[in-house]
Each structure stands twice: as C-alpha cells, then as structure tokens.
C-alpha cells in the first residue's frame, strides 16, 4: 500500500527500513470514489494526502460559479490546502477525485509527531514545501507573462498524461483559458508537428 509513497520519499531523503516502519504507524490509507470530495471549501484541511493511485484536483469557484483549477494531483503527487492545514483556518478550496483513488493521509497530529520524532521527515517536508513554493511561483509567473501557447507547453511538461485523463474544459480552467481558445492552441500545435 505504501510502495509509491516510500519510493518518492526515498528519492528525496533515503530512509532505513526502521524509519519506514516508524513512519508507517502515522499514515492513514483512504480510498476515494470518483467525484467524492476530500476537502470542501469552508472546512479546515486536517491532512496532507499522497496519491498512490488515481487523480485529484484542487479548485475554487469564482463569483459566477465557474471552476478555477489550481492543481491536479496524479499518482506520486501530494495535495492539500497547506495554508488551512498549517493555520487551522477554513479552506478556500475544494479537493475532489477525478478517478477512483487510493490515498495516504497524514493528519496534523501525525505530522507534528513525525516532525519531532524523525529528522528525515522534517527534511522531506521542507523539500516538499520548498518545491511547492517554487511551483507556485512558476505558475504565477506563467499566468502573468507567458503566452497561451507557452502555458500549454508548460502544462504538458508538468502533467504529460493528464491531457488523456481529464476533459479539455478542466485543462482550460487550469490554464485560465476558455475551452475554445485551448482547442485552437491544440490544433495549431498539432498542425505544426
């Protein structure tokens, strides 16, 4: 059940078998059906979720009720509303399953215990948060300065298999485009190849 989780963890911070067994005590497996929510807006986010199998998305609704997707989380990715998780304030986001999912959850008390008990977990967490911050900065920069074609190329580099797993309107939402605009970009790119 924890194979992918520990493979990803060990890529960043190698663990001994004893450390893996200790960390396992703090992990909670969870299955989520397609369209089921992991987090809803106004709830406090009580966990960080690692995706062993399936696909999740994090999104918000604008004033017109349109979805604005912030993140997709396929296998091997972590997803959470980190602000809500760390501050215990209500979340501004929804997280739901786009496919049936197998997740590994780390709740707040388990997270705190692991931080104090296993120094390598603290290192791993710092690397994860740093990576998330860098990704957020790149995404913001892309939104403000990249052309739609460049944003699509960046999306395809970040999420190479997502285009085959989600409807086009979700990719357009993530990119901040209308679906028709995304269709034109995809046509133009395929005609150039």
Q: Which residue has the tokens 């190698």?
A: 14
* The pLDDT value given to residue 189: 77
User: What's the pLDDT score for residue 94?
Assistant: 98
pLDDT mean values, one per 10 residues, the chain (193 residues): 92 95 96 97 97 97 91 94 95 97 97 95 93 87 86 87 91 90 85 72
Architecture of the domain made up of 3-145? Sandwich (2.60)
pLDDT of residue 141: 86
Predicted pLDDT at 39: 98
Give domain limits for the chain.
3-145, 146-193
State the Cα–Cα distance between residues 126 and 136, nearest whole angstrom. 15
Task: Identify the bridge partners of residue 67 per DSSP, sorted by sequence position.
Answer: 61
pLDDT score for 28: 97
pTM of the model: 0.90
Asked if residues 166 and 151 have their Cβ atoms less than 8 Å apart, the reply is no
Alpha-carbon span 33 to 99, nearest angstrom:
7
The pLDDT of residue 153: 86
pLDDT at 121: 95
pLDDT at residue 100, as a whole number: 98
How confident is the model at residue 40, as a pLDDT? 97
- How many helices and strands, by DSSP H and E, does the chain display? 8, 8
> Tell me, what's the pLDDT at 193?
64
End-to-end CA distance of the chain: give it in Å, rounded: 41
Do 89 and 122 meet the contact criterion of CB atoms below 8 Å apart? no
d(CA 78, CA 56): 10
52: Cβ contacts below 8 Å, ≥ 6 apart = 1, 2, 3, 4, 5, 75, 101, 102, 103, 104
């Amino acid at each position: 059940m924890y194979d992918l989780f520990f493979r990803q963890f060990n890529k960043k911070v190698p663990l001994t078998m004893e450390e893996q067994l200790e960390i396992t005590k703090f992990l909670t497996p969870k299955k989520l059906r397609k369209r089921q929510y992991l987090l809803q807006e106004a709830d406090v986010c009580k966990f960080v979720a690692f995706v062993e199998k399936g696909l999740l998305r994090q999104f918000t609704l604008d004033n017109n009720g349109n979805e604005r997707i912030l993140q997709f989380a396929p296998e091997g990715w972590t997803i959470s509303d980190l602000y809500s998780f760390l501050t215990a304030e209500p979340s501004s986001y929804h997280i739901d399953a786009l496919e049936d999912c197998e997740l590994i959850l780390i709740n707040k008390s388990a997270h705190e215990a692991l931080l104090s008990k296993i120094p390598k977990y603290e290192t791993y967490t710092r690397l994860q948060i740093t990576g998330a911050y860098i990704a957020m900065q790149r995404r913001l920069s892309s939104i403000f300065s990249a052309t739609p074609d460049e944003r699509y190329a960046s999306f395809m580099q970040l999420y190479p298999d997502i285009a085959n797993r989600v409807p086009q309107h979700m990719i357009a939402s993530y990119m901040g485009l209308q679906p028709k605009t995304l269709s034109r970009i995809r046509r133009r790119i395929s005609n150039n190849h």
